[in-house]
Amino acid sequence: MPVNSEQCRDLTQLPDKAGHFGPYGGMFVAETLMGPLQELRQAYEKYLQDAAFVAELDDELRQYVGRPTPLYYAKRWSETLGGAKIYLKREDLNHTGAHKVNNTVGQALLAQRLGKKRVIAETGAGQHGVATATVAARYGMECVVYMGAEDIERQKINVYRMRLLGAKVVAVTSGSRTLKDALNEAMRDWVTNIDSTFYIIGTVAGPHPYPAMVRDFQAVLGRESRQQILDQEGRLPDALIACVGGGSNAMGLFYPYLQDKEVAIYGVEAAGDGLESGRHAAPLCAGRPGVLHGNRTYLMEDENGQIIPTHSISAGLDYPGVGPEHAWLKDCGRANYVAVTDSEALAAFHALTRLEGIIPALESSHALAYAAKLAPTLSREQLLVVNLSGRGDKDIHTVAGIEGIEV
Amino acid sequence: MNRIERRFEQLRQQQRKALIPFMTAGSPHPDHTVDLMHTLVRAGADLIELGIPFSDPMADGPVIQLANEQALHHGVTPRDVLAMVSRFREQDQQTPVILMGYLNPLEVMGYATFAALAEESGVDGVITVDLPPEEAEEMLDALRPREISPIFLISPTTSPSRIETIARSASGFIYYVSMKGITGSGGLDLQGIERSLVQIRNRSPLPVGVGFGIKDGETAAAVSAFADAVVVGTALVQRLLTAWEEEESGQRLHDVVESFISQLRTAIDR
- In order of their start, the domains of chain B are 3-9+17-269 (3.20.20.70)
Question: Which site among B24, B52, B54, B58 would you substitute to test the A interface, given the most A Cβ atoms closer than 10 Å to its Cβ?
Answer: B58
Nearest residue of chain B to residue A26 (CA atoms): B135
A205 to chain B, any CB pair closer than 8 A? The answer is no
Cβ(B153)–Cβ(B129) below 8 Å = yes
Alpha-carbon distance B57 to A185, whole Å?
Answer: 10
Give the confidence band of A2 by pLDDT, cuts at 50, 70, 90.
Answer: low
Q: What is the pTM of this model?
A: 0.96
Tell me the angle at which helices A127-139 and A156-164 cross, rounded to the nearest 10 degrees.
10
| Surface of B (13-32) touching A: CB under 8 A | none
The DSSP bridge partners found for residue A145 are A121, A169
Q: What is the mean pLDDT of residues A276-286?
A: 97
CB atoms A174 and B130 under 8 Å: no
Alpha helices in B101-249 (DSSP H): 103-109, 111-121, 137-143, 160-169, 190-201, 217-224, 234-246
Residue in chain A nearest B130 by alpha carbon: A29
**Band of the pLDDT at A153, cuts 50, 70, 90?**
confident
Measure in Å the smallest separation between the Cα of B263 and chain A Cα atoms.
29
Where residue A175 falls (left for φ over 0; alpha for ψ -120 to 50; beta otherwise) is left
Q: Is B199 on the interface with A (CB under 8 A)?
A: no
Contact between chains at A34 and B72 (C-beta distance less than 8 A): no
- Interface check B55 vs A, CB under 8 A: yes
Q: Write out residues 98-117 of B within 8 Å (CB-CB) of A.
A: 102-109
* Chain B contact for A304 (CB, 8 A cutoff): yes
Q: Give the minimum alpha-carbon distance from B262 to chain A in angstroms, rounded to a whole number.
A: 31
Task: Say if the Cβ atoms of A29 and B130 lie within 8 Å.
Answer: yes
What residues contact A55, with CB distance under 8 A and at least 6 apart? none
Disruptive mutation site among A27, A31, A37 for chain B (greatest number of B CBs within 10 Å): A31
CB contact under 8 A, B55 and A291: no
| Marked catalytic residue, from B46, B60, B124, B228 | B60
User: Sign of torsion, CA B104 B36 B87 B116?
Assistant: negative
| B5 counts as catalytic | no
pLDDT band at A155 (very low <50, low <70, confident <90, very high): confident
Mean pLDDT of A251-277: 98
Q: How confident is the model at residue A156 (pLDDT cuts 50, 70, 90)?
A: confident
Residues of A in contact with B182 (CB under 8 A): 188, 191-192
Of A28, A181, A187, the CB nearest to B131: A28
Chain-wide mean pLDDT for chain A? 96
What pLDDT is recorded for position A175? 84
The minimum CA-CA distance between B172 and chain A, rounded to whole Å, is 18
In this predicted structure, the answer to whether residue A167 has a pLDDT above a threshold of 70 is: yes
Spot the catalytic one: A100, A116, A330, A394.
A100
Residues B79-116 as b/e (b if ≥16 CB within 10 A, e otherwise) read ebbbbbbeebbeeeeebbbbbbbbbbbbbbbebeebbe
> What is the dihedral sign for C-alpha B35, B40, B42, B47?
negative
d(CA B85, CA B89): 6
Three-class DSSP category at A316: helix
Catalytic annotation, pick one of B49, B135, B141, B194: B49
* Given the residues A248, A314, A365, A389, the one annotated as active site: A389
Of A205 and A191, more confident: A205
A26 to chain B: which residues are within 8 Å by CB?
Answer: 134-135
| Nearest chain B residue (CA) to A295 | B130
What is the DSSP pairing of strand A239-243 with strand A383-388? Answer: parallel
Instruction: For residue A394, indicate whether it is catalytic.
Output: no
**Who has greater pLDDT, A215 or A194?**
A215
Report, as an integer, the average pLDDT of A381-389.
Answer: 98
Q: A60 pLDDT exceeds 90?
A: yes
User: Would you call A31 and B155 a contact, using CB atoms and an 8 Å cutoff?
Assistant: yes
pLDDT at B188: 84
Instruction: Check if B192 contacts A (Cβ < 8 Å).
Output: no
Determine contact: B153 vs chain A, CB below 8 A.
yes
Q: Which residues contact B1 (CB under 8 A, 6 or more apart)?
A: B9
Asked if A318 is an interface residue toward chain B (Cβ–Cβ < 8 A), one would say no
Q: Which of B24, B54, B55, B135 to mutate to test the interface with A (most CBs of A within 10 A)?
A: B55
The answer to whether the Cβ–Cβ distance between A18 and B105 falls below 8 Å is no
Q: Residues of chain A with pLDDT > 90: what percent? A: 91
Cβ <8 Å between A31 and B78: no
Cis amide prior to A209 (ω within 30 degrees)? yes
Residues A70, A50: Cα–Cα separation, whole Å: 28
**A291 inside 8 A of chain B by CB:** yes
Q: Does B152 touch chain A (CB under 8 A)?
A: yes
A31·B166 Cβ contact <8 A: yes
Nearest-angstrom CA–CA distance, A17 and A44? 13
Question: Which of B61, B153, B185 comes nearest A31 by C-beta?
Answer: B153
CB contact under 8 A, A306 and B158: no
| Spans of chain B, pLDDT less than 70 | none
Give CA–CA dist B97/B109, Å, rounded: 20
CA distance B45 to B18: 7
**Chain-chain contact of A195 with B154 (C-beta, under 8 angstroms):** no
Tell me the longest C-alpha to C-alpha distance in chain B: 50
Closest CA of chain B from A338, distance in Å: 24
Answer positive or negative: Cα dihedral of B184, B190, B192, B198: positive
pLDDT of A5 over the 80 cut? no
Confidence of residue A407 (pLDDT cuts 50, 70, 90): confident
Model pLDDT, residue A288: 96
Distance from the B42 Cα atom to the nearest Cα atom in chain A, whole angstroms: 32
Q: How big is the CA angle at B201 (ends B195 and B205), to the nearest 5 degrees?
A: 165
Predicted local confidence at residue A1, as pLDDT: 60
